[in-house]
Structure 1
Amino acid sequence: MTTPAVFAGLGPKLKAQYTAALKAGSLLFTESDVVELDDEDIGIPFEVRYAPALAKKPTKADGKGTNDDDARPADKPADPFAPPYQQDLFVAEETVKEDDDDSGESFAILLNKFCVTPRHFLLVTKEFRKQTTPLSPLEVFTAWSVLKQLGAREKHLAFFNCGDESGASQPHKHLQFIPISNGMAPFDSFIDAHKPAKPQTPFQLPLPYANFTALIDPPSSASRPDLVSYLGQRFVELLDLMIDHRRRLSLSDPAALGLDADASEQPTRGIRLSDMSYNVVLTQRYLHLVPRRREKYLTARSSLPVSINSLGFAGMVLVKDERALDEVKEVGVLEVLKQVGLPPLDIVDAHLGEDGNELA
C-alpha cells in the first residue's frame, strides 16, 4: 500500500495563495538587490541581499515585538501562528502520522507576511510548541517531505532558528522555506566537495566556525516509519556533536561561550539543550547545524547590527543599511559568520577522522 504524500499538491496551492494574498495586500513583499560576494579562498558564492525598506520594520529592540513573520503590540503579545489563521496567509493544514497507529502531529502551512523572497512560507505546529525545543523526528520528516515534493518542480531550502541568539524571535515553533531560483543553495557545491568517504558519517566543513553536517540518503524502499527514524537519527547525531563541542569549549575556552573562566564556574553550565542557540539548514540532501554565540554582527566602523539567522549559514545574508552593506563587502561574509558562531573543532580533535573533517 502506497503511503499518501505529505501535503499533497502543495506547489500549486502555494503559488495561487501567494498571488491572492499579494493582490489583497495581506502580504508585504519587499524589493531587494542581491550582491554576489564569492569567497575566493573557499569558493562559496555568498549572496548579500540589500533591502533598505526593512529598516523601518519594527523589531524586538523597539519594544513593539516582531519576528521573521509578523509584528505584535508589546502590551498584548499575540501568536500569529495560532488558529484561527489569517485566511489570506493560510495555505493548508494536515495531521502527519508515522504509521496508522500513531496519533500524529498537526501542522499548518502559512505564507510569511513580510518577505523578500516570493512564496516564502512557514511550517508551524498547530498546537503551541516552544521554538527553543529541538525538532522532533516527525517534524524533520515533514519538512523533508515538503522539500522532496516541491523539488519535483522547484527546489526549496528549509531552515530552523532555535534559541535567543539564533535570529528567532517568534516563540511558536516553526520552520521556514524559500525557493532556490537556480536550483542550488550557495553551500551545496562546497558540501559536495568535502563530504566524507563514508556518507553515514557526520562531518565538519573546513570553515572558521563550528558546524556539523549529515548527508541524507535514505534507502529508496524505506517505509514511512523507517524514514522518520532515519531522519530523526541524523538530526540527533548533529545535536550530540554540538553538545559535546560546547562541553569541550566550556573547559578549554569558556569565554567563547560567555562563561566566567574562574575556577568556581561549573564546566557544565549552559549545556542544557533548551539554553543553546543554533541554526539548522535542511535540503533534500543534507542537514547542516551551526551553534551560535551571538545573534548580531556589529560592523567595525559604524557599529551597525547585522542580524544573522539560518540563511546566513546557507550562504545568504540580509542587510538593511547601505553602510552595513559596504562594511560586509569589506570584511567578507565568512568573517561575519565567524564572529557570530563558535570556534570550530580543532583539526587534531579526537572526533576527527584521518582527513580532518569526519566526525566519529
Structure 2
Amino acid sequence: MTSSAVFAGLAPRLKSQYNAALKAGSLHFTDSDEVELEDEATGIPFEVRYAPALAKKPTANKDSGSTASTADDSKPVDPFAPPYQQDLLVAEETVKEDDDDAGEGFVVLLNKFCVTPRHFLLVTKDFRKQTTPVSPLETFTAWSILKQLGSREKHLAFFNCGDESGASQPHKHLQFIPISTGMAPFDSYIDAHKPAKPQQPFQLPLPYANFTALIDPPSSASRSDLVAYLGQRFLELLDLMIDHRRRLSLSDPAALGLDAPTRGMRLSELSYNVVMTQQYLHLVPRRREKYTARASSDVDGGGEGAPGRTVSVNALGFAGMVLVKDEATLEVVKRVGVLEVLKEVGLPPLEFSDPQHAEDVGELA
C-alpha cells in the first residue's frame, strides 16, 4: 500500500517559491484592505476585501501559472499547460490510490495574480474539464494537502464549477489560500449547526441552498479507504444538489432561470461552488455569477445616484470572503449585507416544512 505523504514538504517550498517569484516580478501581489462585516442574525464574521488596483488587472489567464502559447489566436491559451513558468512551479507529483494504481498527475502552481500571499493552485497535469466534478482521488489529494499544511498554518481549498460559479479557466484546478487567523468565517457556524448524526449531510439555516458534510475518517483508514471515504462524502453533496435542482425545476423553474418545468439536466451544465477544510466539505449550487444592485437605494441609501453595482462571487464568497474593486461597490455590500449578496446568486434553500423533506438532509440522498 502506498504510504508516503502526498506532496511531502510542500509548506517550505510554497514559502520559498512565493518569495522568489515575488522578488523576480513573476508574481503580482495586490494589496487590499479588509473590512469585517459581522452578520447580526447569524454572527458570521464575513470578510470583505477592497482592492481597487484589481480594476486594472488583466482578465485573461488571471490564474496563470504557465507560459503556454499558441500560434492560432482563435484558440484560447491554456495557462495550466506546460511549459510551466518556473518561478510559479512549486511541485509535480503522481498521486496513487495504492501501489497497483497508475495514479493521476498533479502540479502545484502559484497564482500569478493574488490578493492573498501564497495563494496556489492544484492543477491536473493532463487536461480535464473544470465542469467535471472533483474525483475521489482529487478530493483526497486536496484534503491531504490541507492536512499537511494545517500543521503549520491552516488553509482553505475551493473549487468553482460552471459558467455561473466564478470559474476563470476551463482546465481543472482547485485553489488554496492560507487562513491567517486560523479559522475561516464559517467554521464556528458550521460547528454550531452540525447534526446529532455527524455522518449525515446537512443544510445550514441560511437564505440559500447549501449542503455540508463533516470529514472525520477513521484513524486507521488506509489510503484507498480514505480515497473512497472522501469521494463518497463529496458524492453525497452532489446528489443532494442534483435532487434539489430537480425539485425546483418542477416546482419553481423560475428560480433556475427556466421558463417552464423540466426534468432534464446535464451535470456538466450545472454551476456550483465547493469549499473544503480539513474538517468539512461545503457545496453551494449557483443560479448566477454576479449580484447586481437592483435599485438606487442599494447604492446610495435611497436618493438618486450611481447605477446599480455588481459583485462577482466565487466559492470564497460561500467561505465568508468577498472581494470588491471599488469603494462604491464596497458601500453596496455594507448596505445590503453579504448574506443578501449570496442569497441572490444562490438557489432557494430546502424548505423543511415541506412533508416531502425529512428533517435530516442526508435522508434525501
Bin of the TM-score, shorter chain as denominator length? over 0.9
* Deviation by residue 1:208-228 (Cα, 9 ceiling, x = unmatched): 000000000000000000000
How many equivalent pairs are there?
Answer: 349
* Deviation of 1:321 (Å): 1.2
Paired residue type of 2:37: L
Change over 3 Å in CA distance of 1:317–1:115 after alignment to 2: same
Q: Which residue of 1 aligns with 2:127?
A: 128
* Deviation by residue 1:267-304 (Cα, 9 ceiling, x = unmatched): 223x2111100000000000000000000011233322
Q: How does 1:88-237 map to 2 (within 5 A)?
A: 88-237=87-236
State whether residues 293 and 332 of structure 2, in contact with CA within 8 Å, keep that contact through their aligned partners in structure 1. Answer: yes
Distance 1:26 1:118 in 2: 14
* Deviation by residue 1:21-56 (Cα, 9 ceiling, x = unmatched): 000000000000000000010110000000000011
* Deviation of 1:77 (Å): 1.7
Q: Which secondary structure does the structure 1 equivalent of 2:156 belong to?
A: strand
* Deviation by residue 1:247-273 (Cα, 9 ceiling, x = unmatched): 000011000111112xxx5x223x211
State whether residues 33 and 49 of structure 1, in contact with CA within 8 Å, keep that contact through their aligned partners in structure 2. Answer: yes
Paired residue type of 2:277: T
Which stretches in structure 1 are left out of the alignment for 5+ residues?
A: 60-64
Change over 3 Å in CA distance of 1:124–1:29 after alignment to 2: same
Distance 1:337 1:359 in 2: 26
Q: Which residue of 1 aligns with 2:9?
A: 9
Distance 2:280 2:9 in 1: 24
Identify which range, 2-11 or 35-44, moves more after superposition.
2-11
Distance 2:195 2:239 in 1: 19
Identify which range, 276-285 or 341-350, moves more after superposition.
341-350
Task: Choose from 321, 328, 336 the match for 1:331.
Answer: 336
Change over 3 Å in CA distance of 1:76–1:211 after alignment to 2: same
Q: Which secondary structure does the structure 2 equivalent of 1:157 belong to?
A: strand
State whether residues 119 and 178 of structure 1, in contact with CA within 8 Å, keep that contact through their aligned partners in structure 2. Answer: yes
Q: Which residue of 1 aligns with 2:283?
A: 289
Distance 1:350 1:67 in 2: 46
Q: Which residue of 1 aligns with 2:301?
A: none
Aligned-pair RMSD on alpha carbons?
1.7
State whether residues 89 and 109 of structure 2, in contact with CA within 8 Å, keep that contact through their aligned partners in structure 1. Answer: yes
State whether residues 32 and 51 of structure 1, in contact with CA within 8 Å, keep that contact through their aligned partners in structure 2. Answer: yes
Distance 1:123 1:320 in 2: 26
* Deviation by residue 1:191-220 (Cα, 9 ceiling, x = unmatched): 000000001100000000000000000000
Task: Choose from 296, 305, 308 the match for 1:303.
Answer: 308
Paired residue type of 1:10: L
Task: Choose from 320, 323, 328 the match for 2:325.
Answer: 320
* Deviation of 1:169 (Å): 1.9
* Deviation of 1:349 (Å): 3.8
Normalising by structure 2, report the TM-score: 0.92
State whether residues 62 and 113 of structure 2, in contact with CA within 8 Å, keep that contact through their aligned partners in structure 1. Answer: no
Which stretches in structure 2 are left out of the alignment for 5+ residues?
A: 297-306
* Deviation of 1:177 (Å): 0.1
State whether residues 352 and 358 of structure 1, in contact with CA within 8 Å, keep that contact through their aligned partners in structure 2. Answer: no
Q: Which secondary structure does the structure 2 equivalent of 1:139 belong to?
A: helix
* Deviation by residue 1:101-129 (Cα, 9 ceiling, x = unmatched): 00000000000000000000000000000
* Deviation of 1:58 (Å): 2.9
